[in-house]
Structure 1
Amino acid sequence: MSWASIEWTRWLFNFAFFYPIVMAFFWMTGGIYYYLRRERKAPKPDAPPAMPESPFISILVPCFNEEAHIAATITALSAQAYPDFEIIAVDDGSTDRTPELLDALVADHPRLRVVHLAQNQGKANALRIGTLAATSDYLVCVDSDATLDPHAARWMVGHLIDGPRVGAVTGNPRIRNRTTLMGRMQIGEFSAIIGLIKRAQRTYGRLFTLSGVICAFRRTALHDVGYWSDRMVTEDIDISWRLQMAGWDIRYEPNALCWILMPETLRGLWSQRLRWACGGVEVLLSHGRSVLGWKKRRMWGVLLEYLLSLAWAYVMLTIIVLWLVGLFVQLPPVWHVDTILPRWHGVVLAFVCMLQFATSLLIERRYEARMARHFYWVIWYPIAFWMLGMFTAVVAFPRTLLRRRRRAVWISPDRGATA
């Protein structure tokens, strides 16, 4: 084997090792800067600053088969500490008792209006219908199984009022179901990974995606880009890219808290993460080339980060495959992988991972006083969720390439235990 091929192989192994380390410090640096500049001296989540005006807002709740959670969601929305708003629930052809429950809730929640659709057309279509029914230029979108903090709408709408080029604001999802190891690991994921990444991306330029479970939009910005696409698996990633490519700003508001349910079974988690991965690939295929234009250069960092993460997944898969093949076939020394168990490089990765978790948990203490008690559970995150992310990314790319474009309808997800 030539020297060039040996060096190329070495580069692959070095990339698999150094990429997560470099990105961890990249996220930590951006997250710390964001915290020091925007969060450290900011008011607490339950004491938002006064606004010069409080315009009427519309809260949109797309629903599909949510009989177990819709009452709690509507009750929390009705308790928003905001002076003037309406709630529009769009029942997207539910086959359970959701339509009847929504109609009954109108009597107890006078701000609530209900729109019934004859059949399941997908979340994107439900949001478009809700926008047509709304009477405000400011739209707060909440998933029908989420519990919104009383001050969340105020925090997000404040950005839309302050910045005329702000097209959307994403909130801070918090894990509600914490009865299993998988649920507790996701507490660390949403704070140490997702929250820190959003802070860093906001510091460096653009966000990869809004959190579809809790976000706010300016109606004129949505109209400018043609609203949500019902042909995309993840409408939140797609609308995030299209808004930013059109020159609209997207902001992250960590004080806008929203309590959500997440899968706690391997099957449910795999289905959710595969859908997320497919959504990322769809956006790459749909918008990747147009992002390369000079006028859209602020999106280059987001595109590069995603491409590198996708490359890392395939490099890791290559290493695992080489190790498995080497158990049965004698490979050339340059391709031989002795073991995939951690050695000194595993210790370094673990240390950097713990440093990242510690950094984020310190930042997140202002939103949950006892975040440190979750530190033990997140040490299992790299083993479980890195592998899950790698395999879903590897599967998502060919699956998305081969998938026929059709309307993306809802399938009720696994939401774990609620106790």
Structure 2
Amino acid sequence: MDIISIALLVFYFSILVLLSLYGIHRYFIVYLFYKYYKNKRRIKAEAVEIEHFPTVTVQLPIYNEKYVVTRLIEAVGQLEYPRDRLNIQVLDDSTDQTQEISLAAVHRLKEEGFSIQFMHRAIRKGYKAGALQEGLSVSSADLIAIFDADFLPDPDFLLKVVPYFTDPQISMVQTRWGYLNREYSLLTRIQALLLDGHFVLEHTARYFSGRFFNFNGTAGVWRRQAILDAGGWQGDTLTEDLDLSYRAQLAGAQFVFLPHVVCLSELPVTITGFKQQQFRWAKGAIQVARKLLPTLWKSSLPLSVKLEATVHLTSNVCYVLLAVLSLLLPLSVFIRHSLTDWNMKWLELLVFIFTVLSISIFYLVSQRELYPDWRWKLRDLPILFGLGIGICLNNSRAVLDVIFARETPFERTPKYGIKQINDKWRNKLYGSNDGKYAIGEFFLLFYLLFFLILFVLNEFWLSLPFFLLFLIGYAFVCTLTLKQTVR
């Protein structure tokens, strides 16, 4: 075997080992979930007399959301909370007719007696973080509730969440996301699976085991003083929510997660919109890792908290590993099959156990905890694997942007007011121009198709299952990209 083949296999094995370590972490999250949450160790809210309710400012950060802004403002107007203790801020940085729509909705609530302000910035300095910070500077409320444009809080949302702040140590309460349009398409069903795993297992396990977890940017309530003590909202990352969460917890803040309180949201319905969202989340997490991991490791926190937080903030590195693996996998199969003295044909089975099986168990547990028909919802699991692989180039670009210090603007996810299966997004504003980055995905699709033919001709059957996950992933993403482009 020549030196190039040896080097390629060593590199390939190293990537598999790293991916397997992150796969083992999913087993660990499931373990924490059953160890702590299933034993019902939770903080309970105390009853609050209405005359003792704290003051609340509800912040609604808006940017070009003409299809959803009215329903958001109207939903907030339905919140059951003492009017004399409730203030609403519509933080509208829009550059289109969303401003007019927002102002009309604000005017209607003012006529109903609400304390509500419309705030517009001509220059979006700091993007969403800048808008939230400006709103914070003119609020004197005890608590700050935040809802993005695509969310619809139930009328009793504040009544369920605010009582937890009777404990003066609690700085933030996050609720679980629900989905208005889960059944709209295969893409939205898979997104719901992904988010269910994040909230039901990751958030729950981290919270109940005393590890760091984060505010998700919406559907949560902060103690105003906790934001100020942590340094306020800062716009130097694309995930201002994750950044503030870690800074606050490093300063000693305590968070609460309420898996039983659900706030409905709208999932992205286009593949470019989904990739845009994933890019922002991936890049922001790596930015926060670069910004705060040194401080985290210098702190006096337990080693278990530091290790889990490190995995949490750096997990998007896996997308870079998957992108490289997409190129190396076919070549490594041929090299390993040429080795007559080494029995390496079962390598993919070990990878399956540590990665594919861990992810399957992870989402199986989350669906079983939430839905009586959880078995039926797992029908999309094979495509979920594929989607994670299919967007690896998109998210690798996000990680590499941070490594090479390349700046990109904050691009919010397009929303179209989609709720029903027959709702349409075609011919609406806010389309994405990220299609140019799909060229790499199409290249990898045809690259893998070429090797699929060679595998079949050479009867490399044991390598096919793992290989097909990559092929399915790129085929799925490319098909959705073509379908959206044609529409």
What SS does the corresponding residue of 2:216 show, helix, strand or coil?
coil
**8 A contact 1:320–1:340 mirrored in 2:** no
Question: What is the alpha-carbon distance in structure 2 between the residues aligned to residue 106 and residue 112 of structure 1?
Answer: 11
Counterpart of 1:319? 325
Counterpart of 1:219? 224
**8 A contact 1:64–1:412 mirrored in 2:** no
Q: CA RMSD in A?
A: 3.6
Structure 1 residue runs without a partner (length 5+): 43-47
Q: 1:161 to 1:339 in 2, by over 3 A?
A: farther
Question: What is the alpha-carbon distance in structure 1 between the residues aligned to residue 20 and residue 406 of structure 2?
Answer: 36
Q: Does 1:397 align with 2:399?
A: yes
Q: Does 1:165 align with 2:164?
A: no
What SS does the corresponding residue of 1:143 show, helix, strand or coil?
coil
Q: Does 1:304 align with 2:281?
A: no
Q: Could you give the per-residue CA deviations for residues 14-57 of structure 1, whole angstroms, max 9, x where no partner exists?
A: 4434541x222212122234432448998xxxxx8733542221
Counterpart of 1:45? none
**8 A contact 2:176–2:263 mirrored in 1:** yes
1:346 paired residue among 339, 343, 352:
352
Counterpart of 2:114? 111
Counterpart of 2:278? 273
**1:197, distance to aligned residue in structure 2 (A):** 0.6
Aligned 1:26-37 pairs, distance under 5 A: 26-37=28-39
Q: TM-score, normalised by structure 2?
A: 0.72
1:51 paired residue among 31, 48, 53:
48
Question: What is the alpha-carbon distance in structure 2 between the residues aligned to residue 410 and residue 322 of structure 1?
Answer: 32
Aligned 1:17-96 pairs, distance under 5 A: 17=20, 19-20=22-23, 22-38=24-40, 50-51=47-48, 53-83=52-82, 84-96=85-97
Counterpart of 2:473? none
Question: What is the alpha-carbon distance in structure 2 between the residues aligned to residue 107 and residue 89 of structure 1?
Answer: 13
Q: Could you give the per-residue CA deviations for residues 300-354 of structure 1, whole angstroms, max 9, x where no partner exists?
A: 13333136634544443343222355699999969x9x99997575377555433
**8 A contact 2:276–2:413 mirrored in 1:** no
Q: Could you give the per-residue CA deviations for residues 152-206 of structure 1, whole angstroms, max 9, x where no partner exists?
A: 22333222222x2322222111122231001011121111234311111113333
Q: 1:344 to 1:120 in 2, by over 3 A?
A: same
Structure 2 residue runs without a partner (length 5+): 421-487
Identity %: 20
**1:245, distance to aligned residue in structure 2 (A):** 1.2
**8 A contact 2:289–2:310 mirrored in 1:** no
**1:240, distance to aligned residue in structure 2 (A):** 0.8
Q: 1:370 to 1:182 in 2, by over 3 A?
A: same
The size of the alignment, in residue pairs, is 405
> What one-letter code is carried by the residue in structure 2 that aligns with 1:113?
I
Give 1 or 2: higher helix fraction: 2
Give the number of the structure whose alpha-carbon radius of gyration is greater. Answer: 2
Q: TM-score, normalised by structure 1?
A: 0.83
> What one-letter code is carried by the residue in structure 2 that aligns with 1:130?
G
> What one-letter code is carried by the residue in structure 1 that aligns with 2:193?
G
**1:405, distance to aligned residue in structure 2 (A):** 5.7
What SS does the corresponding residue of 2:66 show, helix, strand or coil?
coil
**8 A contact 2:20–2:354 mirrored in 1:** no
Counterpart of 1:358? 364
Q: Does 1:375 align with 2:378?
A: yes
**8 A contact 2:69–2:101 mirrored in 1:** no
**Residues 200-209 or 322-331, more deviating:** 322-331
**1:227, distance to aligned residue in structure 2 (A):** 1.0
Q: Could you give the per-residue CA deviations for residues 120-177 of structure 1, whole angstroms, max 9, x where no partner exists?
A: 5111111112222333111111112210122322333222222x23222221111222
**1:381, distance to aligned residue in structure 2 (A):** 1.1
Question: What is the alpha-carbon distance in structure 2 between the residues aligned to residue 32 and residue 128 of structure 1?
Answer: 38
1:139 paired residue among 132, 144, 162:
144
